[in-house]
Structure 1
Amino acid sequence: MKLGFEHTYAALPARFYARVEPAKVADPQVVIFNRALATELRWDPDMDERQAAALFSGNELAQDSTPLAMAYAGHQFGTFVPQLGDGRAILLGEVRDRHGVLRDVHLKGSGRTPFSRGGDGRAALGPMLREYLISEAMHALRIPTTRSLAVVTTGEQVYRTEALPGAVLTRVAASHIRVGTFQYFAARGDQEAIKELLDYVIDRHYPEARDAAVPALAVLEAITARQAALIAEWMRVGFIHGVMNTDNTALSGETIDYGPCAFMDRYDPKTVFSSIDLGGRYSYTNQPGIAQWNLARLAETLLPLIDADEQRAIELATEVIEGFVEQFETAFLVHMRRKIGLVSAEDGDADLISLLLAAMQQAQADFTLTFSKLSRAAQSPIEDAALYELFTAPADIDGWLQAWRARLVLDPQTPAERAETMRLANPEFIPRNHRVEAALQAATAGDMQPFHALLGILQRPYEQQPDAAEFTQPPPPSEEKYKTFCGT
């Protein structure tokens, strides 16, 4: 069977990757298959289930597949590791989707590779279903992300703190090139490889940079702009990535790697979910600064290609990296204006938004529910009562509501237009952590019904779904202290 694979990355020199084949598994069974994504890839959405199980477990390879594990390095929690690479993942090839865009097809949990660093190369069912659920929820929220095509159980167990059912995820991405990919070659002083990698990134993601006066600088500018836009998108929905290492910073501008990630319930800028982020490096509020830090690490690898004069190269790169702050703040302000129902711009808007967030933090108000209820209050002051319920006392938010309504008078929208602006900016449904865990526990025990039900709800995040109203609610106090784990 041929799937139309191309192999542009495999055409790069051999030191960019290791040729590997997925490990065979005992009894592959399809748990979930993304028919809509298969259609996007121009594949049969009604593919025979046994064939899908064989292909997406790695037991069989398409005739035109050339599997490989990609090499990369990375800063992990600020500490540089010169060799990481795909330790449990394999790139099967690239597929040109129905829009002509080249996309990677990648198995995760497919066995050991030369980059496994002592790991077993396997994955458990729960974390793979978690990545499927969260990545598809992010896609529905209109946030750039890798996608999930399939999860296949292996019929084998993996051993973490306990024995767990094994699984393989098939991930689809614009590419899997990371900041850490450039760092891998920079750590080895391999300037030739950095130049070849840059040319590849230009051809695949930033062709407009080819004709720039300094292509390397133009690419850095473009990647910086995409990262600023991406982090602003995360922040507008209360998403916390949890492990923003440079090896998890995709140069395509997509969200990649859904390990210790989660969505914030009560608004607290210092929120951290990752069990290993003891210092709060990757907290909600730190995400813009960390993204800028990661971009600086990328810039360091590109300096010789920016200018032969190192000092001049540093000055040019620094200007780009410093520009991240304004780009992020501009994008975030645009999002937050829409979240409070504004399409025009006034000088005091940033202060108005800051005052709302401060009131939310003081009251520990739920992030998503606050904006959802505010959307209703925009249509009628009668709805203020529902908003008050999120705060300790009406006085905590009453003054802000008066200032907000005074600002709305200056905005050109009609009430109906404002309601639509806010509907498209404020999701009703996010992957509430307690709901995700309940669905994953049931799935691991063999019951996929809660998972499918939750997925269906999350695929329509901006719609009111009266039958699913309970899924808008935050967790009970007993489930608020939520921690996520890497899954390896």
Structure 2
Amino acid sequence: MSAPFPFDNSYARELPGFYAPAAPTPVAAPALVKVNAPLAEALGLDAAALAAPEGVAVFAGLAVPEGAEPIALAYAGHQFGHFSPQLGDGRAILLGEVVGRDGVRRDIQLKGSGPTPFSRRGDGRAALGPVLREYIVSEAMAALGIPTTRALAAVTTGESVVRERALPGAVLARVAASHIRIGTFQFFAARKATDAVKQLADYTIARHYPELQGAKEPYLALLDAVIGRQAALIGRWLNVGFIHGVMNTDNMSVSGETIDYGPCAFMDAYDPNTVFSSIDEMGRYAYGNQPDIAHWNLARFAECLIPIVDADKDAAIAAANATLGTFPARFYAAYHAGLSAKIGLPEAGEEDVALAHDLLNLMIPSKADFTLTFRRLGALAENAGAGGPVRDLFLDREAFDAWAERWRARLAATGRTGADIRAGMDRVNPLFVPRNHLVEGVISAAIERGDYGPFEELNRVLARPYEEQPQFAAYAGLPPSMEGYRTFCGT
């Protein structure tokens, strides 16, 4: 069929042997849930055509558009610290790549499109709930300004998938800078395929880090660049209360995007030990552990590159370790810059960072809401008499008052007006995030009643996370208690 996808498939063309051909499996009765029209426009695609029956047929796997080269990518990975030498796209198929209006090449992938050679006896399908969750959360992350994969479209399949029970099936069309993961490098490094590692590294540089082409030590420079992007990314996660939930090496993109939204969630009450994922029984991927896990994952990436960094193995290890050693400082620079800005002190001086951490420490015993504490703090920055709403989030209000007095004195020393300070804080402290109860409500409405109105409305609200939206004030209220709440992977 003809479909409005101007594919130019460099991965399939330049990296034979790095994937397996895999055609989508047709489904019984596809129906459109949503096409992301603004994203389609940015990609140079016709949203109306994508929403038409021909476009829905592509998203559902009923038709392969002209120019597509459907493939399942090979990769390995450390899953909860244990190495699996062969994973790969078990329920996702890369249709191809398009170059957007901004000149950036992006993958278009179908997730939940049927079994592939890497499915390992899985059904290759996705349930509607995880598809809606990824659509909502990935688009919310994009609106928050955080590098992420995007959701182009979602369709239902007219078929059931069996998980704990029979659930409606669905497919997500995902857009990514690429689907090259640390685990992609591990797949070939584990097989001692040094030439393949080098070939993949050269492709990654050309696609994601072209400024490194011609560098004296390009593969060490690649490691350094990936470290820099991941340090910044994890800092931004923490500053919005995001918990990925399953930070395996096969879920870490070398492009620096957030990828693979499975048991992800946004934290309500602040606690660094917060875990939502049902499979993270030991808390390996808790909110506060994410920087250390990122560092550990990057060490696995460095191991893959050792043979191509330097012919002298000892020299290569020393150089890689020195580069890896820069991660903590780079992460804290990113995290603390964001954290200081959240309390209206964008300089991120040592005393300002300490002041921000003092607030976080006060929040823990009170189970103060992470998002609302910082957002409501802006009103107190502007008006000393407007502290009630934020003060009420704390059990020890006298302790909060003492902190607030120190903080307001520090703000006064900057010489800015309260209105300017609040405006700056509101630009970095979202009012609306995809809270767990909101996402669950959307999923329940869709599954139980076939009602996508809540899904549409939540997406509209989350598209403007930093703006006051009085008509949607209910979305910014304190969440109900969800003691013991758990999120699940879609497999």
Quick one: which of 300, 311, 315 aligns to 2:314? 311
Q: Is residue 22 of structure 1 aligned with residue 24 of structure 2?
A: yes
Q: CA deviation at 1:157?
A: 0.7
8 Å Cα contact 2:245/2:286 also seen in 1: yes
Quick one: which of 98, 105, 109 aligns to 1:106? 109
Distance 1:344 1:64 in 2: 50
8 Å Cα contact 1:93/1:104 also seen in 2: yes
Distance 1:151 1:103 in 2: 18
Show CA shifts across 1:429-473 (max 9, x none). 111101110111101130001111111111110011111111112
Q: Is residue 117 of structure 1 aligned with residue 120 of structure 2?
A: yes
Of 56-65 and 235-244, deviating more is 56-65
Q: Is residue 464 of structure 1 aligned with residue 444 of structure 2?
A: no
8 Å Cα contact 1:344/1:412 also seen in 2: no
Which aligned pairs between 1:77-116 and structure 2 lie closer than 5 A?
Answer: 77-116=80-119
Aligned counterpart, 1:233: 236
Q: CA deviation at 1:200?
A: 0.3
Q: Is residue 174 of structure 1 aligned with residue 188 of structure 2?
A: no
Aligned counterpart, 1:42: 44
Q: Is residue 32 of structure 1 aligned with residue 26 of structure 2?
A: no
Distance 1:93 1:391 in 2: 51
Distance 2:330 2:420 in 1: 27
Aligned counterpart, 2:79: 76
Quick one: which of 426, 434, 438 aligns to 1:431? 434
Secondary structure of 1:175's counterpart equals coil
Letter in 1 for 2:193: D
Distance 1:345 1:71 in 2: 42
Aligned counterpart, 1:12: 14
Of 386-395 and 424-433, deviating more is 386-395
Q: CA deviation at 1:412?
A: 4.2
Distance 1:414 1:203 in 2: 46
Aligned counterpart, 1:297: 300
Aligned counterpart, 1:149: 152
Q: Is residue 222 of structure 1 aligned with residue 212 of structure 2?
A: no
Q: Is residue 447 of structure 1 aligned with residue 456 of structure 2?
A: no
Distance 2:391 2:478 in 1: 16
Runs of 4+ in 1 over 3 A off after TM superposition: none
8 Å Cα contact 1:230/1:254 also seen in 2: yes
Q: Is residue 56 of structure 1 aligned with residue 56 of structure 2?
A: no
Distance 2:63 2:37 in 1: 20
Distance 2:260 2:416 in 1: 39
Of 152-161 and 12-21, deviating more is 12-21
8 Å Cα contact 2:383/2:418 also seen in 1: no
Distance 2:413 2:216 in 1: 44
Aligned counterpart, 1:362: 365
CA 1:469–1:13: 2 relative to 1, 3 Å:
closer
Distance 1:362 1:212 in 2: 50
Secondary structure of 1:223's counterpart equals helix
8 Å Cα contact 1:373/1:383 also seen in 2: no
Letter in 1 for 2:11: Y
TM-score (norm 2): 0.98
8 Å Cα contact 2:345/2:352 also seen in 1: no
Q: CA deviation at 1:414?
A: 2.6
Of 316-325 and 48-57, deviating more is 48-57
Which aligned pairs between 1:325-344 and structure 2 lie closer than 5 A?
Answer: 325-344=328-347
Letter in 2 for 1:218: A
Aligned counterpart, 1:196: 199
Of 345-354 and 175-184, deviating more is 345-354
Secondary structure of 2:110's counterpart equals strand
Show CA shifts across 1:222-248 (max 9, x none). 000000000001000000000000000
Q: CA deviation at 1:29?
A: 0.8
Distance 2:15 2:350 in 1: 53
Aligned counterpart, 2:399: 396
Show CA shifts across 1:159-181 (max 9, x none). 11111111110000000000000
Secondary structure of 1:365's counterpart equals coil
What's the % identity of the aligned pairs?
A: 55
Show CA shifts across 1:36-71 (max 9, x none). 111011111211521121011111111111100000
CA 1:374–1:165: 2 relative to 1, 3 Å:
same
Distance 1:327 1:418 in 2: 26
Distance 2:443 2:56 in 1: 20
8 Å Cα contact 1:432/1:474 also seen in 2: no
Q: Is residue 350 of structure 1 aligned with residue 353 of structure 2?
A: yes
Q: CA deviation at 1:15?
A: 1.9
Quick one: which of 106, 118, 137 aligns to 1:134? 137
Secondary structure of 2:350's counterpart equals coil
Distance 1:450 1:201 in 2: 39
Letter in 1 for 2:126: A
- Name structure 1 gaps, 5 residues minimum: none
Q: CA deviation at 1:393?
A: 3.2
Quick one: which of 274, 277, 292 aligns to 1:274? 277
Distance 1:481 1:458 in 2: 25
TM-score (norm 1): 0.98
8 Å Cα contact 1:344/1:411 also seen in 2: no
Letter in 2 for 1:369: L
Secondary structure of 2:83's counterpart equals strand
Aligned counterpart, 2:478: 474
8 Å Cα contact 2:179/2:253 also seen in 1: yes
Q: CA deviation at 1:480?
A: 3.4
Show CA shifts across 1:243-290 (max 9, x none). 000000000100001101000000000000000101100000000000
Distance 2:39 2:358 in 1: 41
Q: CA deviation at 1:409?
A: 2.1
Secondary structure of 1:46's counterpart equals helix
Distance 2:62 2:166 in 1: 22
Distance 2:324 2:424 in 1: 32
